[in-house]
Amino acid sequence: MPGDDRTGRDGTGRDGTGQGGTGHLSPEEFRRQGHAAIDWIADYWASLDDLPVRSRVAPGDVRRALPPSAPEEGEPFDALLADLDEVVVPGLTHWQHPRYFAYFPANSSPAAILGDLLSSGIGAQGMIWATSPAVTEVEQVVLDWFAEALGLPADFRSDGPGGGVIQDTASTATFTALLAALHRASDGGVRRTGLGQERWTVYASTQAHSSLVKAAMMAGLGEDAVRSVPVDPATQAMDVEALRDAVAADVRDGCRPVMVQAASGSTSTGAMDDVAAIVEVARDLAIWVHVDAAWAGVAAVCPELRDHLRGVESADSFVTNPHKWLLTTFDCSTFWVRDRAALTGALSILPEYLRNAATESGEVVDYRDWHPQLGRRFRALKLWSVLRTYGLEGVRAHVRSGVELASYAADLVRADERFELVTEPALSLVVFRLKAGDQPTLETMERVNASGEAYLSHTTVNGKAAIRLAVGSWRTRRTDVERTWRALQEAVG
């Protein structure tokens, strides 16, 4: 008879061993293997200091080490852990390594990991309020907490006209901001009949994140619709007068400017656009202003590190990623809008099978209408866990530590006459180069990366190659910066 060969009620396996056969772990096996997985993580972290930061595998090495087909019979979970050690770890570049300084950090902290683990165990879908109310309400509360901690204006709170939501990435946040902007500018026309004959244009500095171009491609505007506004060569911040000119020229040509993206902490150098000045330019034409503070925004938990967000109170949307610098396991990109009606207007759908009294009452928020996806997991748990376990004091201390370590790294650069800072340090990011030129700069970085001692990434600033050192891991200490600097000095040809 169907189903009745399963033993027990609460997650038990057919054979009780949890090995082979059906693969359903018994509660005892789940506890045992779960504890083993936790211990594997603790051991992995403890091993990081001795591992090369950047993986040394060649293309195909990992694939060739794995069998060509899935096993017919279940294997013990321990076999997976063994393959992690033997096959996977050598193929990893270790983002949680204390001397990982490339790109931006992607923190994974104990508090966040356990919060996300609990979310997996609960396994609830929060696509609408009615499908599991706590998923939505905890997210609203945590986003309100976090908005307050960042000093965001009251309009962005869920008890005002706006509200916050956790997106997977800032790329998605930027894309949804563009959709909301198009909805508002077209008075709903885009959603119904498409982009039509309008020649929509969007604006950002030459230093803006590539996700804006991708958003324009995905929304049907095309990459040519993105105007790259020049920057001040010294600060790499948008030349706001050039923005004004670009908008005016487009309007004269019959284009419809729909969104400006302000970079508050660019990927290349951490450049901070003047949000307040951009808002001034955008106001007359009611152009949507989206503030992309994916990396730098979380620094605003420290009142003294908020200057770069001046003007955000008049912006239409804002994104920052706790999954970068703020200890929250990917994915957790916190996104706020000042008027949620434009966002939900652009994205709402209501199939019959999701109709319910709570939605129709208007008393609840249905996050399905705040992003491209329908299904959504209980992501707020991990941010809730971080904010509670660290407290605001703890997250501020973490941010300040990163800024101090970057400042220390900048001092080291200044003290060696072969090197020079390319820009002044931005929060926890230092950008520097060898005075000898592009090739020595890139070769020196590559020697360090190849050694495995540390991992850094490169960029181009004003046409010249530069090295980026982005602090952010909670494992990084002063000695890690010193070891990395010594490696760079020794790698100079």
- Which residues 72-91 are close enough to bind its own copies by CB under 8 A? 72-75, 77, 79-80, 84, 87-91
| Residue type at 481 in one-letter notation | V
| Site track for its own copies across 7-46, x = CB under 8 A | --xxx------x-xxxxxx-x-xxx-xxx-xxxxxx-xxx
Sheet holding 333-337, edge to edge: 163-167, 333-337, 317-320, 288-292, 256-263, 200-205, 226-229
| By CB under 8 A, residue 140 contacts its own copies | yes
235-252 b/e with 16+ CB inside 10 Å = b? bbbbbbebbbebbeebee
| By CB under 8 A, residue 340 contacts its own copies | no
Q: Compute the least distance from the CB of residue 124 to its own copies, in Å.
A: 5
Lookup: tokens for 69: 């087909």
Q: Compute the least distance from the CB of residue 398 to its own copies, in Å.
A: 7
Q: Compute the least distance from the CB of residue 366 to its own copies, in Å.
A: 11
CA angle 306, 333, 374 (to 5 degrees): 150
**Using the rule CB under 8 A, which residue among 4, 253, 284, 417 binds its own copies?**
4
| By CB under 8 A, residue 412 contacts its own copies | no
Of residues 187 through 206, those in contact with its own copies by CB under 8 A are: 190-195, 197, 200
Using the minimum distance from each CB to its own copies, give the nearer residue, 237 or 429.
Answer: 429
Using the minimum distance from each CB to its own copies, give the nearer residue, 361 or 417.
Answer: 361
- Roughly what angle, to the nearest 10 degrees, separates helices 340-347 and 170-185? 90
* Contact window for its own copies (CB under 8 A) among 208-216, 257-265, 311-319, 417-425: 208-216
Q: Compute the least distance from the CB of residue 145 to its own copies, in Å.
A: 4
**For residues 354, 358, 359 and 360, what is the CA-based torsion angle, rounded to 10 degrees?**
110
- What residues are paired with 202 via a beta bridge? 226, 259
Contact 26, 16 (CB under 8 A): yes
Using the minimum distance from each CB to its own copies, give the nearer residue, 338 or 468.
Answer: 468
Of residues 385 through 404, those in contact with its own copies by CB under 8 A are: 385-395, 397-398, 401, 404
Tell me the helices (H) and strands (E) count for the chain, helix number first.
Answer: 15, 11
What is the Cα–Cα distance from 450 to 377, expressed in whole angstroms?
Answer: 38
| Site track for its own copies across 426-465, x = CB under 8 A | -------------------------------xxxx-----
* Contact window for its own copies (CB under 8 A) among 233-241, 243-251, 307-315, 347-355: 347-355
| By CB under 8 A, residue 299 contacts its own copies | no
| By CB under 8 A, residue 254 contacts its own copies | no
Using the minimum distance from each CB to its own copies, give the nearer residue, 24 or 184.
Answer: 24
| By CB under 8 A, residue 2 contacts its own copies | yes
Q: Compute the least distance from the CB of residue 334 to its own copies, in Å.
A: 13
- Roughly what angle, to the nearest 10 degrees, separates helices 133-150 and 380-415? 30
Of residues 148 through 177, those in contact with its own copies by CB under 8 A are: 148-149, 168-169, 171-172, 175
Count interface residues toward its own copies (CB under 8 A): 186
What is the Cα–Cα distance from 28 to 25, expressed in whole angstroms?
Answer: 8
Measured distance between the N- and C-terminal CA atoms of the chain, rounded to whole angstroms? 74
Contact 146, 382 (CB under 8 A): no
Lookup: tokens for 279: 């808002």
Q: Compute the least distance from the CB of residue 86 to its own copies, in Å.
A: 11
| By CB under 8 A, residue 92 contacts its own copies | yes
Task: For residue 289, report the phi and psi dihedrals to the nearest 5 degrees.
Answer: -110, 120
Contact 204, 212 (CB under 8 A): yes
| By CB under 8 A, residue 233 contacts its own copies | no
**For residues 116, 386, 127 and 362, what is the CA-based torsion angle, rounded to 10 degrees?**
160
What is the Cα–Cα distance from 468 to 492, expressed in whole angstroms?
Answer: 16
Of residues 306 through 325, those in contact with its own copies by CB under 8 A are: 323
Q: Compute the least distance from the CB of residue 194 to its own copies, in Å.
A: 3
| By CB under 8 A, residue 225 contacts its own copies | yes
Q: Which residue do the tokens 């060649």 mark?
A: 58
* Contact window for its own copies (CB under 8 A) among 246-254, 346-354, 416-424, 485-493: 346-354
Using the minimum distance from each CB to its own copies, give the nearer residue, 146 or 325.
Answer: 146
Q: Compute the least distance from the CB of residue 280 to its own copies, in Å.
A: 28
* Contact window for its own copies (CB under 8 A) among 283-291, 308-316, 430-438, 478-486: 478-486
Q: Compute the least distance from the CB of residue 37 to its own copies, in Å.
A: 5
| By CB under 8 A, residue 94 contacts its own copies | yes
Contact 318, 289 (CB under 8 A): no
Of residues 348 through 387, those in contact with its own copies by CB under 8 A are: 349-353, 358, 361, 363-364, 372-377, 384-387
| Site track for its own copies across 46-65, x = CB under 8 A | xxxx-----x-x-xxxxx--
Sheet holding 464-470, edge to edge: 419-421, 429-434, 464-470, 457-461
Side-chain half-sphere exposure of 358, counting CA atoms within 13 A: 11
Contact 84, 38 (CB under 8 A): no
Using the minimum distance from each CB to its own copies, give the nearer residue, 327 or 469.
Answer: 327
- How many of the other CB atoms lie within 10 Å of CB of 362? 7
* Contact window for its own copies (CB under 8 A) among 131-139, 246-254, 412-420, 433-441: 131-139
